[in-house]
């Protein structure tokens, strides 16, 4: 039972390049989330998916797209990376029954030059 | 007013003391409350969940919830240097899919 996994762990991009961050969970959770965390800013929600086939914008969606490929996987795409997207990205998933607890993946540290 | 407020700290306590971390929230219909611990360079780790008024204890950790005052706290007894981290308070409101996070309190436990 791996929980929430993310790939890659680290990535360096040049301005204008594109990339996809991958996230998968094995807890049979309905809801999945993408956050970014910057020094002094706390966790900011980029996009989320309440269930397979649905996605919604969070607090800071500009410059990002997401795909909820199936119940397990939720990817985040940067179409044209900008230095302002340098950050640590966390994926999370949450159960929607019982205690509704949310668990985070290990994160991806992205640098855009 | 921020939806979830925490003092950013740092909160410095000596080893063996009780560390008290506080959080207030603005949405009266909030129903679930969580404390996460985040070590530098790591992801947030869930350490406590609380849903009912009162205290919930788990080892050295006690979460306290007062819905009337819109206040949730985390007590860490017998604090250890390994408890030094940032503690994030998170709140789930009724009929929503999103946790609202505070910006965290940095705790430093010195030997």
Our CA-based measurement puts residue B89 at a distance from the nearest CA of chain A, in whole angstroms, of 11
Which chain A residue's Cα is nearest to B93?
A100
Number of DSSP helices (H) and strands (E) in chain A, helices first: 0, 11
CA distance A109 to chain B (A): 9
Contact B99 A102 (CB under 8 A): yes
Q: ω before B10 within 30° of 0 (cis)?
A: yes
For residue A103, the SS3 value is: strand
pLDDT score of A69 more than 90: no
Q: Mean pLDDT over residues A90-108, rounded?
A: 90
- List Cα–Cα distances, B75 to A59, A107, B58, B60, B79, in angstroms: 31, 27, 10, 8, 9
Gap from A111 CA to chain B (nearest CA, Å)? 15
Who wins on pLDDT, B31 or A59? A59
Residue A26 sits at the chain B interface (C-beta within 8 Å): no
> What mean pLDDT do residues B1-19 have?
92
Written as one string, the DSSP assignment of B2-58 is: -SEE-----EEEETTSPEEEEEEES-TTEEEEEEEEE-TTS--EEEEEE-SSEEEEE
Contacts of B51 in chain A (CB under 8 A): 99
The band of B1, judged by pLDDT with boundaries at 50, 70 and 90, is low
Tell me whether residues A31 and B90 touch, CB distance under 8 A.
no
pLDDT digits (tens, 9 = 90+) for A5-51: 999 999 999 999 999 999 999 999 999 999 999 987 889 999 999 99
Give the model's pLDDT for residue B57. 97
In this complex, the residue of A45, A99, A103 whose CB is nearest that of residue B98 is A45
Q: Is the pLDDT of residue B95 over 80?
A: no
The per-residue pLDDT for B97 is 79
Measured between CB atoms, does A101 come within 8 Å of chain B?
yes
Please report the pLDDT score of residue B27 as a whole number.
Answer: 87
Question: Per residue in B33-92, pLDDT tens?
Answer: 999 999 999 999 999 999 999 999 999 999 999 999 999 999 999 999 999 999 999 999
């Amino acid at each position: 039972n791996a929980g929430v996994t993310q790939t890659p762990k680290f990535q360096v991009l040049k301005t204008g390049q594109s990339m996809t961050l991958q996230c998968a969970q094995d807890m049979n959770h309905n809801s999945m989330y993408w956050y970014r965390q910057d020094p002094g800013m706390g966790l900011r929600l980029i996009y989320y998916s309440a269930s397979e086939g649905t996605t919604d914008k969070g607090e800071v969606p500009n410059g990002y797209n997401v795909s909820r490929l199936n119940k397990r996987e939720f990817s985040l795409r940067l179409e044209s990376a900008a230095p302002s997207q340098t950050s640590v990205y966390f994926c999370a998933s949450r159960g929607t029954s019982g205690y509704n607890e949310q668990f985070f993946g290990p994160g991806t540290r992205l640098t855009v030059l | 007013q921020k939806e979830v407020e925490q003092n950013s700290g740092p909160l410095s306590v000596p080893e063996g003391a009780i560390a008290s971390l506080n959080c207030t929230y603005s949405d009266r219909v909030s129903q679930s409350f969580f404390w996460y611990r985040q070590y530098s360079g790591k992801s947030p780790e869930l350490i406590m969940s609380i849903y009912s008024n009162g205290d919930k204890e788990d080892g050295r950790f006690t979460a306290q919830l007062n819905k009337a005052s819109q206040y949730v706290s985390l007590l860490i007894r017998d604090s250890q240097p390994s408890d030094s981290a940032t503690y994030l308070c998170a709140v789930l409101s009724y009929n929503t899919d999103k946790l609202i996070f505070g910006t965290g309190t940095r705790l430093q436990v010195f030997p």
